[in-house]
Chains A and B, each alone.
Chain A
């Protein structure tokens, strides 16, 4: 295999890997926000669980989820700095439950295919 082909193969894998993870991010964020977090601690929590996400992706996603009514946020002072805390809304809890069921179904289907 030539180095070029290897690079292309790596690129293709990386693109598909990111696509796969991107699809799972909303679920991971909703699940993590069953406990209240502000942006930085949420990122650290996700990273600790192997779902590292950069700030440029996380904050726009949080805004989208909040605009859809799945999250509620509140600015509060903590450690002498203002931080925006997020948690699941009632709708968010219901959607998360449905998404987790769907996730398990997808996982089972894939296991079945493999």
Chain B
């Protein structure tokens, strides 16, 4: 009977203190009755190997004890969906972009890697880990407390069908947003024409700004971009719903514009600055500073571009599924 005693001892460990002895006595009686019946069938005392299947059939000690305990959860089913949405939003809209930005900086910025050699690179991620831990801990704690308070029943039971939000049509393209976008694009084109942007040399506030010889190509590329934007805006106005065509065009155009901005940042666009009150040595330093600042901000272009492209791909997949 040593196996039975070990089994009962293991079950007893997990049981509520007040009921331990009572439950174990009853379970023990049942098991011994089963063993006695089997022994009378076989005509001999059961060996450990023969007792084992009886105990196995009864279930693991933890599972058996668990059935005597009240069903417990840290956050109940009434509040868990809200908790889940908040945790997912925190991750996708805050923690994940932060992590991607850190990866981008760690990969593309030699200065950052030089400032954080070896293990210090991982240590620079400490604020992110802390943000993860704190946000998970405090959200869980807040919801666990809310689940045990009277506020839960107020939150769950006080609702009004009229106050529920209208169903959102993810594939609808807002006309006002399209008109706003169209206005911005036309204004940009008008500005390019107004300042005669195809030239490389500009004069303002007593300063002469000379841009690199690549500048006119960028302006041509931007003009093409704006023309395509106008075409897409017109398409969206005539058919204000995302289709495979419009979603693919939007994705293609965003890839194009992200690439253009990336090249613009990396091209040392500012060639020279000159002015009556600006010594040439200072002007050269200023040109270098501006060009390196612009080149340094390429990481933001990559991060924002990646987020925009993810949104575009997601939209394209959604439209494909709906078609």
Contacts and interface: CB of A to CB of B under 8 A. Distances in A.
A47 to B, nearest CB: 12
A60 B68 contact: yes
B63 interface: yes
Contacts of A43: 30
A45 to B, nearest CB: 13
The size class of the interface chain B forms with chain A is 10 to 19
A54 B55 CA distance: 11
Interface stretch (B21-29, B207-215, B248-256): B21-29
Contact of B29 (A57, A60, A63, A83): A83
A57 B31 CA distance: 14
A55 B30 contact: yes
Interface in B20-50: 23, 25-27, 29-34
Contacts of A39: 26, 29-30
B58 A84 contact: no
A3 interface: no
A26 to B, nearest CB: 15
Contacts of A40: 29-30, 33-34
A17 interface: no
B59 interface: yes
Which of B29, B34, B57: most chain A Cβ within 10 A? B29
A54 to B, nearest CB: 7
Contacts of A59: 23, 26-27, 30, 67-68
B29 A84 contact: yes
Interface in B157-208: none
A83 B36 CA distance: 15
Interface in A41-90: 43, 54-57, 59-60, 63, 75, 81-84
Interface string A79-103: 0011110000000000000000000
Given A56-B64, A59-B26, A81-B29, 7 more contacts: A40-B34, A43-B30, A55-B58, A59-B23, A60-B68, A63-B68, A84-B26
Interface of B: 19, 23, 25-27, 29-34, 57-59, 63-64, 67-68
9 contacts: A38-B29, A39-B30, A40-B29, A55-B30, A56-B59, A56-B64, A59-B30, A60-B67, A75-B25
